[in-house]
């Protein structure tokens, strides 16, 4: 049986007992988890996430990329609108992991081969030191003013050999000071975008 058929069959079994039709769009834990796409690092398992608990965004390495910045800025914008403009509490948990494929991107020969053969630059997501990568990623977020400063950000390394998280960056607001609660996005908002239209999506 193909993998796709296996997954569709598993979904049928899941849907037979489905009882989550009334979950709200804003996650119960008001949390975004950013982690690697590695199959050993599934947040539903390692964090015990239930349906409706958290937004999960995964990419190579669990890195803060320009695409991730856009995604979390847009999510924060929508949640703030749904909370009627209040800077509601929201947390971001970044989880990178040991023995990650992104460590191979640090090899100069691998970087060059990927760039030359498929035109993809992986240098910004390469991992050589997990603690430093997490610190760099929080700094990337801090410098991205479209991401509101009041988001609580933390960083962990997950050990694929013992299942434990190691805290590298303690939970703290992304930015302190007078602009911490502001979304400094200079782009004008669309006048027709109301709390009601977002809530009805």
Report the interface residues with Zn ion, using CB under 5 A: 36, 38, 100-101
Query: What distances in angstroms separate CA 165 from CA 31, 158, 169, one per listed residue?
Result: 17, 4, 12
Q: Which residue has the tokens 């013992």?
A: 162
Give me 27's structure tokens: 């996650």
- The whole-angstrom separation of Cα 169 and Cα 74 is 24
CB of 66 or CB of 101, closer to Zn ion: 101
Least Å distance, CB 103 to Zn ion, is 8
The DSSP bridge pattern shows strands 152-158 and 165-173 to be antiparallel
Least Å distance, CB 38 to Zn ion, is 4
Other CB atoms within 10 Å distance of the CB of residue 43: 20
Q: Which residue has the tokens 């990329």?
A: 65
Least Å distance, CB 138 to Zn ion, is 18
CB of 32 or CB of 151, closer to Zn ion: 32
- The whole-angstrom separation of Cα 194 and Cα 150 is 22
CB of 149 or CB of 155, closer to Zn ion: 155
CB of 38 or CB of 53, closer to Zn ion: 38
User: Sheet holding 152-158: strands in order across?
Assistant: 55-59, 31-36, 91-97, 152-158, 165-173
Least Å distance, CB 97 to Zn ion, is 5
Give me 73's structure tokens: 């800025």
CB of 36 or CB of 92, closer to Zn ion: 36
Least Å distance, CB 101 to Zn ion, is 5
């Amino acid at each position: 049986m193909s993998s796709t058929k296996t997954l569709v069959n598993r979904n049928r079994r899941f849907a037979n007992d489905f009882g989550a039709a009334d979950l709200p769009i804003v996650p119960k834990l008001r949390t975004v988890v950013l982690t690697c796409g590695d199959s050993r690092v599934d947040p539903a398992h390692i964090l015990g996430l239930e349906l409706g608990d958290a937004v999960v965004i995964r990419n190579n390495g669990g890195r803060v990329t320009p695409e991730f910045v856009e995604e979390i800025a847009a999510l924060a914008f929508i949640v703030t609108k749904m909370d009627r403009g209040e800077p509601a509490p929201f947390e971001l948990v970044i989880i990178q992991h040991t023995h990650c494929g992104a460590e191979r991107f640090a090899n100069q020969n691998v970087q060059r081969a990927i760039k030359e053969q498929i035109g993809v630059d992986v240098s910004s997501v390469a991992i050589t030191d997990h603690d430093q990568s997490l610190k760099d990623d929080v700094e990337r977020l801090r410098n991205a003013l479209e991401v509101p400063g009041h988001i609580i950000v933390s960083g962990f390394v997950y050990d694929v050999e013992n299942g434990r998280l190691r805290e590298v960056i303690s939970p703290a607001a992304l930015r302190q000071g007078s602009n911490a609660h502001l979304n400094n996005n200079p782009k004008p908002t669309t006048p027709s975008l109301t709390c009601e239209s977002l809530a009805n999506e």
